[in-house]
């Protein structure tokens, strides 16, 4: 039996969706959802209507003295303070377990234990995602293995037992989600549907024989298409809480706040507050871009740069208006002809200044050092296949692509750790020259240079034919030559590959098949 590798974007969606439902995002205390604290409070009142019984439970089961924790006019107030105390100490689970030991027959306590379990179990999975630089896939695998090794030490090498335990854990999560969401978050039902899809599409079973083994390998490869379906489904439901929507809403709120307070039109505020903030934001995003391969980061950096240019224009316009106001010109003593000339010169001079500033900032942003891509070093290098790419791989006029040519290519093959994993071929195209030219305005020509890194997952079926799936892992471009390339390069380089992704992948697949690249690896 086998647990398939879950795509990173799915793990990100799990993290985002569940953190939205459960605000208790960190293991440090004090963030338990309010509705859950209320239910714990009610369950304790139900189990211990006598204050003396409640005091004894704290002393006997938790070694805590009630007077030192909480005092109050009535039992409800005291219990509320006790719950708050244990929440701050991150000991709510101890409080619930101690109360159940003291009064094991209370239905409310038994029910609250099941409801509370989901919060802690999900945090066990999700907390490491915020506190480590390890890939999400590694964290997920480490968590599952740790969980199984802890609870089933005698069976940890038995794949049949492992898959059974993993299925049980997923079922527990789904069941608990159902219990909690039905009560308080009925509008979050898509998360349950998502968890079901995750379980059904990415946990595969097979029998230990040759025929079923081969069939399962083919079936697993075909099921990769479900990633597309899941991604499409996720896009349908995530609009309200997508990262992009949060960014847009934040920017809109910021602009509305500035306009409502008239700060947007104050030169000192724009220069001393807004522009430094935007420049720091640009610098931080640029550093993050060097460390990650997320398209969202590249594109967010572009919007930050455009915002910086926009507010620079606003600052210059405000400065010119203030200068005119402070000049105290006596317009009634100036002839109309002179006034027109002065006005024209002022407008012309302002436009010249604006153009110079915009072009200067655009050149600076376009000249930011771009990311240098590298392939995984713990893999076997195939320089002879790299030469094939260098000598033959070119894309001419293809749809919106004018021309792509490369000077250097590196090809590496990753070692697979499981017979059911697909082999992976990693290709890095360096010194890629990308020429952009508009269809009807051919004089608008741009030239960019950089990297494209892609990965081919492939598997040979029983007939010896290869089934493969290509994907672009990362890309990085800078202006190569030409004035226009440096003017709009900081914008266009972030969108070169995303806009032509399908075209490039089709050309890559065709090139690999025509040149029998995978056959050369045998």
Boundaries of every domain in the chain: 380-521
pLDDT at 154 over 80: no
> Rounded to the nearest 10 degrees, what angle do helices 336-366 and 295-326 cross at?
160
User: For the chain, what is the mean pLDDT?
Assistant: 69
pLDDT at 241 over 70: no
Q: With helix as H, strand as E and coil as C, how does 395-414 read?
A: ECCECCECEEECCEEEEEEE
pLDDT-based confidence at residue 158 (cuts at 50, 70, 90): low
Instruction: Decide: 384 and 412 in contact? Cβ < 8 Å.
Output: no
Q: Can you tell me the mean pLDDT for 224-229?
A: 45
> Rounded to the nearest 10 degrees, what angle do helices 225-237 and 210-223 cross at?
40
Q: What is the pLDDT at residue 180?
A: 45
CA distance 161 to 234: 31
CA distance 480 to 485: 7
Least reliable range by pLDDT among 6-20, 301-315, 353-367: 6-20
CA distance 162 to 117: 21
CA distance 382 to 411: 5
- At 4 the three-state DSSP class reads coil
Q: What is the pLDDT at residue 339?
A: 61
Burial of 317 (0-12, 13-18, 19+ CB in 10 A): middle
Least reliable range by pLDDT among 256-260, 282-286, 288-292, 371-375: 256-260
pLDDT at 362 over 80: yes
Per residue in 126-153, pLDDT (tens digit) is: 444 444 445 545 545 554 555 445 444 5
pLDDT at 451 over 70: yes
The DSSP secondary structure of 449-516, one letter per residue, reads: EEEEEEEEEEEE-TTS-EEEEEEEEEEEEEEEESHHHHHHHHHHTTTHHHHHHHHHHHHHHHHHHHTT
Least reliable range by pLDDT among 24-28, 164-168, 342-346, 367-371: 24-28
Instruction: Decide: 373 and 472 in contact? Cβ < 8 Å.
Output: no
Backbone angles phi, psi at 65, to 5 degrees: -95, 120
Closest CA to 33 of 25, 24, 42: 24
Backbone angles phi, psi at 419, to 5 degrees: -65, -15
> Rounded to the nearest 10 degrees, what angle do helices 92-102 and 34-47 cross at?
20
pTM of the model: 0.45
Closest CA to 507 of 407, 368, 401, 409: 401
Q: Can you tell me the mean pLDDT for 425-447?
A: 81
- The dihedral region occupied by 3, where left means phi > 0, alpha psi between -120 and 50, and beta the remainder, is beta
CA distance 177 to 134: 27
Residues with Cβ < 8 Å from 17, sequence gap 6 or more? 188, 190, 191, 194, 238, 241
pLDDT-based confidence at residue 208 (cuts at 50, 70, 90): very low
Q: What is the pLDDT at residue 183?
A: 45
pLDDT at 493 over 80: yes
186 vs 521, residue with greater confidence: 521
């Amino acid at each position: 039996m086998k647990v398939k590798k879950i795509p990173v974007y799915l793990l990100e969606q799990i993290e985002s969706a569940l953190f939205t439902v459960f605000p208790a995002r960190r293991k440090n205390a004090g963030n338990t959802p309010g509705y859950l604290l209320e239910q714990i409070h009610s369950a304790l009142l139900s189990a211990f209507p006598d204050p003396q019984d409640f005091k004894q439970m704290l002393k006997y089961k938790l070694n805590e003295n009630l007077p030192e924790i909480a005092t109050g006019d009535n039992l409800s107030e005291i219990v509320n303070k006790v719950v708050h105390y244990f929440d701050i100490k991150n000991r709510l689970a101890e409080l619930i377990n101690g109360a159940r030991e003291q009064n094991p027959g209370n239905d409310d306590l038994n029910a609250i234990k099941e409801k509370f379990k989901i919060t802690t179990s999900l945090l066990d999975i999700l907390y490491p995602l915020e506190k480590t630089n390890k890939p999400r896939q590694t964290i997920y695998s480490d968590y599952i293995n740790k969980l199984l090794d802890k609870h089933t030490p005698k069976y940890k090498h038995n794949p049949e037992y492992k898959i059974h335990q993993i299925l049980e854990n997923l079922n527990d999560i789904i069941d608990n989600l159902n219990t909690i969401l039905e009560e308080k978050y009925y509008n979050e039902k898509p998360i349950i549907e998502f968890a079901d899809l995750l379980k059904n599409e990415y946990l595969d079973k097979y029998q230990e024989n040759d025929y079923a083994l081969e069939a399962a390998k083919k079936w697993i490869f075909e099921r990769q298409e479900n990633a597309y379906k899941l991604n499409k489904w996720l896009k349908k439901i995530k609009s309200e809480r997508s990262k992009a929507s949060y960014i847009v809403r934040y920017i809109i709120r910021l602009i509305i706040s500035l306009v409502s307070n008239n700060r947007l039109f104050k030169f000192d505020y724009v220069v001393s507050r807004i522009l430094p903030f935007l420049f720091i934001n640009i610098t931080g995003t640029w550093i993050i871009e060097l460390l990650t391969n997320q398209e969202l980061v590249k594109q967010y950096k572009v919007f930050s740069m455009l915002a910086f240019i926009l507010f620079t224009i606003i600052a210059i316009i405000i400065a010119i208006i203030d200068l005119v106001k402070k000049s105290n010109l006596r317009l009634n003593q100036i002839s109309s002809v002179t006034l027109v000339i002065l006005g024209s010169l002022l407008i012309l001079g302002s436009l010249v200044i604006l153009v110079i500033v915009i072009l200067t900032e655009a050149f600076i942003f376009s000249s930011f050092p771009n990311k240098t891509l590298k392939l995984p070093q713990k893999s076997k290098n195939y320089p002879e296949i790299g030469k094939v790419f260098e000598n033959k791989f070119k894309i001419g006029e293809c749809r919106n692509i004018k021309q792509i040519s490369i000077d250097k290519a590196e090809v590496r093959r990753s070692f697979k750790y499981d017979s059911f994993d697909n082999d992976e071929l990693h290709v890095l195209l360096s010194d890629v020259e990308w020429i952009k030219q508009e269809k009807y305005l051919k004089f608008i020509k741009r030239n960019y240079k950089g990297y494209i890194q892609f990965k081919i997952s492939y598997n040979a079926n029983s007939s010896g034919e290869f089934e493969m799936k290509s994907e672009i892992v990362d890309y990085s471009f800078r202006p190569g030559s030409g004035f226009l390339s440096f003017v709009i390069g900081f914008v266009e380089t972030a969108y070169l590959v995303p806009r032509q992704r399908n075209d490039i992948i089709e050309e890559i697949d065709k090139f690999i098949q025509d040149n029998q690249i995978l056959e050369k690896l045998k």
